[in-house]
């Protein structure tokens, strides 16, 4: 053999081996479906320093292309489920998203799901999915506080971290998760806590579940409440959800907002009461009347953390009121909306509120 061929042959063999090993590595990457719904993470502004921008402008393929580093950690595909700001999201949209996610997780070729979503009502969609996606596969919600065009935009890193989290074996079976700003939260307790800061999310009762730093996942906590795989709520057959209104308590409150909710057809009222879910006697009388008309009444609190306790200063048993435990008013509304598809019986509703 011509000796000068040796180095070329060695180079060729080396290249083949390298290509094969890259292929093998790619084969080991988790398959993550990115389901886009809009929000600031899909926003575009006129300049890097203006606070104003148009949300929900960037489509899912562009979102993925904008973070090419994702292909190093996952095999991703995209689906545009909605293209809206999350302040426009309705309970019917929760059903649309829930059904799309259920279809994705039922696919053997999908290891995890990332949902891009506006941050305003992300916590509500997250908890809805937490209650209605019967799967152990990671489902992660992500968004951003600044559009991609802004100086120091946070969306690209948040998306990269969300994909890493959705592909992490330790994220399986933890219920629906949410990540922004390197922090991981469980869907049940997480809440938006600042109108503009990228570190907006917090979990006032439970604390964060862990962190994702440049794609490195560390989870410390598991959710204690029932969720996902154990949840009793099935949405496949549902086309709409019952009307549940939230009313906010304050000093000098009166009965007219409760009356308006009942007149407009609410099947449930979540009352964000003062202190331990308390209210003015006029409100109490209006809520008692609502109960006579079979409207479900859940006492929550405007306080922001802690449990609302049964029969403390309010005689819940007498009226058939239910307490929200430590759910925020907006989370209590999500749960009541689903619970009312099964029952309106106060004792059973109370069981549901202590379980989920």
Residues of this chain that interact with ligand ASP (CB under 6 A) are 39-40, 55, 85-87, 118-120, 143, 145
**Catalytic-residue membership of 119:** yes
Q: Are 200 and 145 in contact (CB under 8 A)?
A: yes
Q: What does DSSP say about strands 244-248 and 268-273: parallel, antiparallel, or unpaired?
A: parallel
Q: Min. distance of Cβ 89 from ligand ASP in angstroms?
A: 8
Residue ranges at the known binding site: 86, 119-120
Q: Min. distance of Cβ 56 from ligand ASP in angstroms?
A: 7
Q: Min. distance of Cβ 195 from ligand ASP in angstroms?
A: 9
Catalytic residue among 40, 84, 132, 149: 40
Shortest Cβ contact with ligand ASP: which residue?
Answer: 118
Nearer to ligand ASP among residue 111 and residue 120 (C-beta): 120
**Token couple for 55:** 């949300």
Is the Cα dihedral 173, 188, 118, 82 positive or negative?
positive
- Beta-strand ranges (E) seen in 220-308 are 244-248, 268-273, 296-301
Strand partners, 54: 44
Diameter of the chain measured on Cα atoms: 101
Nearer to ligand ASP among residue 197 and residue 343 (C-beta): 197
Q: At what angle do helices 122-132 and 329-339 cross, to 10 degrees?
A: 40
Residue ranges at the known binding site for substrate: 86, 119-120
**Catalytic-residue membership of 84:** no
Give the Cα separation of 79 and 59 in Å (integer): 9
Nearer to ligand ASP among residue 180 and residue 262 (C-beta): 180
Catalytic residue among 37, 84, 116, 119: 119
Q: Min. distance of Cβ 144 from ligand ASP in angstroms?
A: 6
Q: Which residues are catalytic?
A: 40, 119
């Amino acid at each position: 053999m011509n000796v000068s061929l040796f180095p070329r042959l060695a180079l060729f063999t080396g290249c083949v081996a390298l290509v094969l090993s890259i292929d093998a590595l790619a084969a080991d990457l988790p398959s993550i479906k990115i389901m886009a719904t809009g929000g600031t993470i899909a926003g575009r502004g006129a300049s890097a320093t203006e606070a104003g921008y148009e949300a929900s402008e960037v489509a899912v393929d562009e979102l993925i292309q904008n973070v090419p580093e994702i292909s190093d950690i996952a095999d991703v595909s995209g689906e545009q489920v909605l293209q809206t700001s999350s302040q426009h999201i309705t309970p019917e949209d929760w059903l649309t998203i829930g059904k799309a996610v259920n279809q994705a997780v039922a696919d053997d070729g999908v290891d995890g799901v990332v949902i891009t979503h506006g941050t305003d009502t992300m916590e509500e969609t997250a908890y809805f999915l937490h209650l209605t996606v019967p799967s152990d596969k990671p489902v992660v919600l992500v968004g951003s506080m600044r559009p991609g065009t802004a100086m120091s935009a946070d969306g690209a890193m948040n998306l990269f971290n969300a994909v890493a989290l959705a592909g992490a074996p330790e994220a399986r079976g933890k219920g629906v998760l949410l990540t922004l700003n390197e922090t991981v939260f469980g869907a049940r307790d997480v809440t938006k806590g600042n109108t503009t800061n990228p570190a907006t999310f917090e979990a006032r009762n439970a604390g964060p579940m862990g962190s994702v730093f440049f794609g490195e996942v560390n989870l410390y906590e598991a959710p204690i409440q029932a969720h996902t795989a154990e949840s009793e709520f099935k949405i496949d057959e549902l086309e709409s959800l019952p009307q549940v209104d939230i009313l906010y308590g304050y000093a000098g409150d009166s009965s007219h907002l409760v009356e308006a909710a009942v007149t407009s057809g609410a099947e449930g009222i979540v009352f964000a009461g003062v202190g331990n879910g308390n209210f003015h006697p006029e409100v109490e009388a209006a809520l008692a009347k609502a109960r006579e008309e079979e409207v479900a009444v859940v006492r929550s609190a405007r306080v922001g953390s802690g449990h609302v306790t049964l029969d403390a200063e309010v005689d819940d048993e007498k009226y058939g009121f239910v307490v929200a435990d430590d759910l925020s008013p907006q989370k209590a509304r999500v749960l009541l909306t689903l619970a009312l598809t099964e029952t309106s019986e106060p004792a059973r509703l109370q069981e549901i509120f202590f379980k989920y």
